[in-house]
Structure 1
């Protein structure tokens, strides 16, 4: 059973992940994008801002006393997205496809439900 605090932190993380990675859909496609994809259009600075916003979910995991390996995996997702995001055009496509924030929220949820 997940505590009330954990459930609230998970819900905040999930809402942020959806805002960053999947707030809007492209009509007639399964593709969704969010603020993260829009920030990625700004070379390097946008990817840095996106990475910093993604750290909020890692912070929620830290506050819930998540194990180090989980937080490192989440940081790895952010780092990989940042590195790929710095590559013109490919990085913009990766922002839509990789969805690091939703991945990290899923990792947090899976850990909490164990």
Structure 2
């Protein structure tokens, strides 16, 4: 029999923080927002495009996947103990983004300008900065 080596799986915790502490949640939602809203920059402009706009190419299904990923951010906010009013605002952002994306063929255009995940990240960061100041990151 040939000598086989067993490869160990990558440490997922180094890629995606798996903890339930506020710092891990902050890094997770910042990463998700980056994937959904700012994967790459359109050449010659300052506009970023992410998976949320790209998913709009798939009729209805892409919008459902994008809304589910946005709802995950709200679920993480719930785990942080955010108020029902804040979560309602966040669900409103996700719902508006979903409904705008349902418009056939042109749904990606309003989705490109209405960045619900970025708005929700701002709401979550404001909560974290107030209630968990040790998680704050100084951006340069």
Structure 1 stretches of 4+ moved >6 Å: none
The corresponding residue for 2:51 is 35
Distance in 2, Cα, partners of 1:54 & 1:43 = 17
Structure 2: unaligned runs, 5 residues or longer? 1-19, 131-140
The corresponding residue for 2:91 is 75
Distance in 2, Cα, partners of 1:84 & 1:47 = 9
Q: Is the CA contact (8 Å cut-off) linking 1:10 and 1:105 kept in structure 2?
A: no
Distance in 1, Cα, partners of 2:120 & 2:57 = 22
Shift of 1:27: 0.7
C-alpha RMSD over aligned residues: 1.3
Note if 1:87 corresponds to 2:103.
Answer: yes
Q: Is the CA contact (8 Å cut-off) linking 1:21 and 1:33 kept in structure 2?
A: yes
Distance in 2, Cα, partners of 1:67 & 1:93 = 31
Pairing partner for 2:38 from 7, 17, 22: 22
Shift of 1:76: 0.2
What per-residue deviation string (whole Å, max 9, x for no partner) do you get for residues 33-68 of structure 1?
111111111111110111001111101101101100
Q: Is the CA contact (8 Å cut-off) linking 1:31 and 1:96 kept in structure 2?
A: no
Tell me the TM-score normalized by structure 1.
Answer: 0.91
Tell me the TM-score normalized by structure 2.
Answer: 0.75
Q: Which has the higher helix share?
A: 1
Q: Which shows bigger deviation, 39-48 or 84-93?
A: 84-93
Question: Would you say how many aligned residue pairs link Structure 1 and Structure 2?
Answer: 111
Distance in 2, Cα, partners of 1:68 & 1:10 = 19
